[in-house]
Structure 1
Amino acid sequence: MRQHDYAKCIEVSKRVRWDIDKDVIRQREFDFSKKFLPDGISKVDRLDFLSQDQKRFLSQIQGRTYANMFGFVERFIVAKILEITRDHWLDDQVALEALIRFCDEELKHQELFRRIEPMIASGMPPGYRFLSDPNQVAAAVLENSTWAVLGLILEIELFTQEHYKQSIEPDEDLSELYRDIFQFHWKEETTHAIMDELEWPREDKKLTPEERERSIDELIGLVGAVDGILQSQSAADLEYFLGAGGVTLHAEEAEIIRAGVLNAYRWQYILSGVDHPRYRAALGNLITEAQAWRINDALAALRS
């Protein structure tokens, strides 16, 4: 069964394979008269005091950050998956091929997100800042155990699928190019999550109970580090929104937007992943009830 799962991933990888220029961009530009992220992800529909133009601009800022976030998390994903292929070099060649395809696709995704950033920048006012350096973040993440990093990677790849299927795909009022980018991204991410679900338990079998305890601490620490990134980026995005958008608000309204964008980012990049049924099942199979309570306690502060 295990080999069949990897073999299925290879079959799907071959079938959905796409090209950045020929299939995705197709000489198109972004439509800035439309939103980028749907309300179900951006949560801008909750900001009733903003005009429709202001909501659209805020969705485009969040959409720009959303694309950049994928561009930098995939840096450490490729590094970690390449590392774990070593266990299959002289063993399961089907698994090895599947994981190498995984890495190849993630490298292509990085290129896609690097290429669309200047395309988005050309249609938006100057002053936007994406604060995280991909190499620095990747180096910090990779200092943690493989168990903890695989836990973070699975969370990311599950929320990718959830966001597309539940919110991006059904919304016909988004920029067509923006929606298509995440359609093609989703097509290849589906098999990546399957492989994460195979590799995480395999890594877990290597650990002693003490090592697993430390790895849980590291996973909690990684989530906290992600939240730190989100706090900084949401503040930078709000500053850009207020400045570049020429928006004048009362202090109370600015605070509502600040909290709203941060909560949206926490849901986008953390909570929608850790609350995914597949993530809960995968994690629950590896930890004790007491360890689950410890993780839930750490997440409680992000749910306000």
Structure 2
Amino acid sequence: MGPAPQPVNEALYGKCIEVSKRVRWDLDKDVIRGRSFQLSHKFLPDGLSGIDRFDFLGEDDKRLVSQVQGRTYANMFGFVERFITAKVLDCTRDHWLGSQVALESLVRFCDEELKHQLLFRRIETMMAEEMVPGYIFVPDPDAVAKAVLNYSTWAVLGLILEIELFTQEHYKKSIEPDSNLSELFKDIFLFHWKEEASHAMIDELEWERENNKISDEERDRAVDELIAIVADVDGILQLQSAADAEYFIKVSADSFSGDEVRQLKTGFLKAYRYQYIFSGVKHRRYQEMLTNNTTEPQRRRLEQALGGIESSAR
């Protein structure tokens, strides 16, 4: 006998369908609209790029930092949405012969994530046309997705919710209020945010359902897997932040001392750790879900692992 079927809150899944229909957008007609990136504007806002760590930079270089990090920011979303789509598609199995409302909401989720992947591939091409050659995005989306999908569904859903919560946090608190950013960059993340809001609701519903299906022993192993995934993410951030700092140093019109180079590399890594790990795991809704889905000793293990990452940048 398999695990008992879990109850489905069709009202909440139905709300996600309603939102999906209402905010639906077209990549060219609504988002890009024939525009290109103008390098006279910042891409990523100061609150995300951590620009205050680089007080030795002039205004041109501060703008360049925001553009380099903004390019990686867009690429990171295209990259993580590869495994997000695969895992959510896998979760539809539980609804094939059950709630068709829940099934439709997950299918719409996957359709929107495929559109987002296409959007970010287009954005990378457009940015490459404007920026100095030499930028490298390190992770291979398919290879990383295969590695992530080897972990339990509970652990992967925990990661996915963290990602989609920080997406909303970044847009509402940092990107939307900043009037100095590229309008195209802002619109990309406006429309991305519109669809991600309902995705986070589905993540919460599916993570709760998965949590109710598994045993205490399976959950305890899954917490260790979530810790391992976060460590894997941090390894990627270490590689990408180093590559981005080196690209920035290469294309900047200025030269930097050894100490300034160290500050740049450390500052990029701290910014990326905040962007992709800590702004998500510290989100109020994420902490509420952790409280619901884990025991206090399990949360302490996770907090200790995160504390080790947070304190390791020198």
Q: Bin the TM-score by the shorter chain.
A: over 0.9
Partner in structure 1 of residue 278 of structure 2: 271
The 5 Å alignment of 1:164-243 reads: 164-243=171-250
Separation in 2, partners of 1:115, 1:229: 22
Question: How many correspondences in the alignment?
Answer: 304
For residues 32-77 of structure 1, give each alpha carbon's deviation from its aligned partner in whole angstroms, at most 9, with x where no partner exists.
1010000011111331110010010011000000000000100000
Separation in 2, partners of 1:242, 1:47: 13
Separation in 2, partners of 1:159, 1:190: 11
2:293 aligned counterpart, secondary structure: coil
| Match 2:140 to one of 114, 117, 133 | 133
Please report the RMSD computed on the Cα atoms of aligned residues, expressed in angstroms: 0.8
| Match 1:300 to one of 298, 307, 310 | 307
Partner in structure 2 of residue 93 of structure 1: 100
1:110 aligned counterpart, secondary structure: helix
For residues 193-228 of structure 1, give each alpha carbon's deviation from its aligned partner in whole angstroms, at most 9, with x where no partner exists.
000000001001111111111101110000000000
1:260 to 2:267 alignment: yes
1:128 aligned counterpart, secondary structure: coil
Structure 2: where are the runs of 5+ without partners?
1-7
Q: State the AA in 1 paired with 2:248.
A: F
Tell me if the contact between 1:34 and 1:175 (Cα under 8 Å) persists in the aligned partners.
Answer: yes
Separation in 1, partners of 2:53, 2:226: 31
2:139 aligned counterpart, secondary structure: coil
**1:89 CA displacement:** 0.5
Q: State the AA in 1 paired with 2:251.
A: A
| Match 2:59 to one of 52, 71, 75 | 52
Partner in structure 1 of residue 252 of structure 2: 245
Separation in 2, partners of 1:158, 1:22: 27
Tell me if the contact between 1:45 and 1:55 (Cα under 8 Å) persists in the aligned partners.
Answer: no
**1:2 CA displacement:** 1.5
Separation in 1, partners of 2:51, 2:208: 38
For residues 77-121 of structure 1, give each alpha carbon's deviation from its aligned partner in whole angstroms, at most 9, with x where no partner exists.
000000010100110110000000000000000000001111101
1:30 to 2:23 alignment: no
Tell me if the contact between 1:31 and 1:176 (Cα under 8 Å) persists in the aligned partners.
Answer: no
2:35 aligned counterpart, secondary structure: coil
Separation in 1, partners of 2:308, 2:264: 19
Deviates more, 1:205-214 or 1:88-97: 205-214
Tell me if the contact between 1:241 and 1:247 (Cα under 8 Å) persists in the aligned partners.
Answer: no
Give the TM-score of the pair, scaled to structure 2: 0.96
1:37 aligned counterpart, secondary structure: coil
| Match 2:118 to one of 111, 114, 122 | 111
For residues 207-258 of structure 1, give each alpha carbon's deviation from its aligned partner in whole angstroms, at most 9, with x where no partner exists.
1111111101110000000000000000000110011223311111111111
Separation in 2, partners of 1:251, 1:34: 28
Tell me if the contact between 1:68 and 1:113 (Cα under 8 Å) persists in the aligned partners.
Answer: yes
Separation in 1, partners of 2:59, 2:38: 16
Structure 1 runs of 4+ aligned residues shifted over 4 Å read none
Separation in 2, partners of 1:74, 1:106: 6
Q: State the AA in 2 paired with 1:51.
A: G
Separation in 1, partners of 2:14, 2:152: 27
Partner in structure 2 of residue 280 of structure 1: 287
Separation in 2, partners of 1:250, 1:32: 26
